[in-house]
């Protein structure tokens, strides 16, 4: 678990960076900066080149909730298997084409997904600026986290967050441990144009609430309704007044993202303690500044994992696969280096023996005339020559066998997954054809099948067969297996 994280909230015309860390069970704010773009942010030497987690705009996210029975959730079904079954015909694209993650609230299995092609371009833009992306969390998850962390008591109420961004907005509704997210087409830029836009915006929010509660009626009607505003609100007092007229049943206020977060150790953009933190924490005239950090703080909370907060990272599977791939590549390089050294040694030995053989052959030719009259000695010399020839043939055969052994070992190492353990390898060679019996263990049948498929892809390995495999058990014991294949 990370104890310190830097989170970025990237929006059109602004980038908010916050550093959060855990200390004695508290979440504390470290450094922070509000910049107009990534280039301005990396101008601060503290943030330049750092590992970061980033938000993903709601417009780039697909969010689905599936209501399941408690017994179904508590069974042996894994979220990945459930999602594959539930989304088979309900998604506009294949799940394999997405980066995705899941979370469970109450009895709802929730899926968050985004197209890989779109996300790769989005991440590439961040990393081209010199950052290294360790995680991607949707903006609405950050909003939920900053709400539930600072206001844990709202679980019993009907609560919503109106997050106003530069050119669009999001309405997050949370009730009965369920989440809904609705995008709005009006943002800060529109609200700054004229006063009529505020009335239109309030009416659009009211229509969303009416449509939502028409489709999702509350089981308990006597609840307190809260609407919290955050992000980049323009003309805040006028906006709140307009929303109160449109939504008289709601208590409307600004979201305080620092209600539970410790700002006493915070540092300003120049690395020194600043009155800016006092303004963010206490001064009512700086509400807009305080709201601006909300999404970034919530994204950071997703990785520090305090109680109630959602830990969502859409690229965690990609990071895991990259880590495994790096380990496999390292193993390949080590094995390849070892093979090269072994081959070089054998070649050196072979060359030395060949030179000795050549030298002795020259000596035999030069002394052939001298010993022609000594038949017994000639016979002995011929026998020695035949022995040397046999030795040469033997060494060349052994060299070929060693090359075959090394090639098979390299193919096995390249084909197996990192968490498959090879326990025994038995190899027999006949007429330059190698027969190999391999025994090992793996966490699941799927891992064994992947290993088997990878072996079959190698042109030098033939007749790959599973000759033994143990049955899975509820004790989570690894599956043992035996493979047999040939190579020549």
Give the C-alpha separation, 120 to 250, whole Å: 40
Give the C-alpha separation, 26 to 3, whole Å: 11
Give the C-alpha separation, 279 to 268, whole Å: 12
Match 């903006």 to its residue by tokens.
Answer: 139
Residue whose C-alpha is closest to residue 163's, from 16, 283, 310: 16
Give the C-alpha separation, 4 to 69, whole Å: 37
Distance of CA 248 to the CA centre of its chain: 44
Q: What is the pLDDT of residues 29-68, one digit of tens each?
A: 888 888 989 989 988 888 888 899 999 998 889 888 887 7
Q: What is the pLDDT of residues 139-162, one digit of tens each?
A: 999 999 999 898 888 766 778 999
Tally the residues of the chain: 488
Strands 51-56 and 4-11, bridge-based pairing: parallel
Residue whose C-alpha is closest to residue 108's, from 180, 48, 22, 158: 180
| Residue numbers in the chain where pLDDT is lower than 70 | 1-2, 70-80, 89-90, 155-156, 218-224, 265-289, 366-378, 473-475
Handedness of CA 379, 382, 388, 392 (dihedral sign): negative
Give the pLDDT confidence score for residue 395 in this predicted structure.
Answer: 80
pTM across the whole model: 0.63
CA atoms within 13 A on the CB side of 212: 21
Residue whose C-alpha is closest to residue 436's, from 444, 446, 424, 425: 425
Contact 24, 12 (CB under 8 A): no
Reduced to 3 states (helix: H, G, I; strand: E, B; else coil), residue 99 is strand
Give the C-alpha separation, 113 to 80, whole Å: 13
Give the C-alpha separation, 455 to 412, whole Å: 7
Give the pLDDT confidence score for residue 414 in this predicted structure.
Answer: 85
Reduced to 3 states (helix: H, G, I; strand: E, B; else coil), residue 18 is strand
């Amino acid at each position: 678990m990370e104890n310190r994280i830097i989170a970025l909230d990237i929006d059109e015309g602004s980038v908010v960076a916050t550093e959060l860390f855990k200390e004695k069970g508290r979440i504390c704010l470290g450094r922070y900066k509000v910049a107009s773009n990534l280039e301005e942010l990396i101008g601060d030497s503290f943030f330049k080149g750092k590992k970061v987690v980033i938000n993903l705009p709601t417009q780039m996210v697909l969010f689905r909730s599936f209501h399941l029975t408690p017994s179904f959730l508590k069974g042996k079904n894994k979220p990945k298997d459930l999602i594959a079954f539930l989304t088979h015909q309900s998604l506009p694209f294949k799940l394999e084409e997405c980066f995705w993650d899941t979370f469970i609230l109450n009895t709802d299995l929730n899926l968050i997904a985004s197209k890989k092609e779109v996300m790769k371009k989005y991440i590439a833009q961040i990393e081209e600026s010199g950052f290294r992306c360790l995680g991607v969390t949707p903006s609405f998850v950050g909003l939920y986290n900053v709400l539930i962390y600072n206001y844990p008591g709202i679980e019993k109420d009907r609560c919503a967050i109106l997050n106003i961004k530069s050119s669009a907005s999001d309405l997050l509704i949370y009730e009965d441990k369920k989440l809904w997210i609705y995008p709005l087409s009006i943002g800060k830029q529109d609200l700054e144009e004229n006063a009529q836009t505020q009335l239109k915006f309030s009416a659009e929010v009211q229509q969303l609430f009416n449509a939502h509660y028409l489709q999702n009626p509350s089981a308990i009607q006597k609840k307190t309704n809260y609407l919290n505003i955050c992000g980049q609100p323009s003309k805040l007092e006028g906006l709140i007044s307009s929303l109160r007229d449109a939504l008289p049943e709601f208590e409307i206020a600004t979201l305080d993202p620092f209600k539970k977060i410790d700002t006493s150790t915070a540092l300003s953009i120049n690395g020194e303690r600043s009155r800016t933190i006092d303004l963010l924490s206490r001064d009512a005239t700086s509400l807009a500044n305080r709201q601006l950090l909300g999404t970034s703080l919530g994204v950071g909370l997703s990785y520090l994992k305090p109680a109630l907060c959602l830990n969502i990272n859409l690229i965690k599977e990609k990071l895991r696969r990259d880590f495994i791939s790096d380990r496999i590549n390292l193993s390949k390089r080590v094995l390849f280096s070892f093979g090269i050294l072994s081959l070089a040694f054998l070649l050196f030995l072979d060359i030395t023996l060949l030179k000795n053989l050549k030298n002795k052959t020259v000596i035999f030719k030069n002394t052939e005339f001298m010993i022609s009259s000594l038949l017994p000695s000639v016979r002995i010399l011929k026998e020695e020559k035949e022995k040397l020839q046999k030795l040469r043939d033997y060494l060349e055969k052994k060299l070929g066998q060693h090359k075959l052994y090394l090639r098979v070992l390299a193919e096995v190492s390249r084909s197996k997954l990192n968490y498959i353990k090879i326990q025994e390898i038995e190899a027999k060679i006949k007429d330059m054809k190698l027969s190999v019996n391999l025994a090992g263990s793996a966490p699941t049948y799927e891992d064994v099948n992947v290993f088997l498929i990878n072996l079959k892809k190698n042109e030098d390995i033939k007749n790959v067969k599973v000759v033994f495999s143990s049955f899975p058990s509820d004790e989570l014991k690894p599956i043992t297996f035996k493979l047999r294949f040939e190579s020549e």
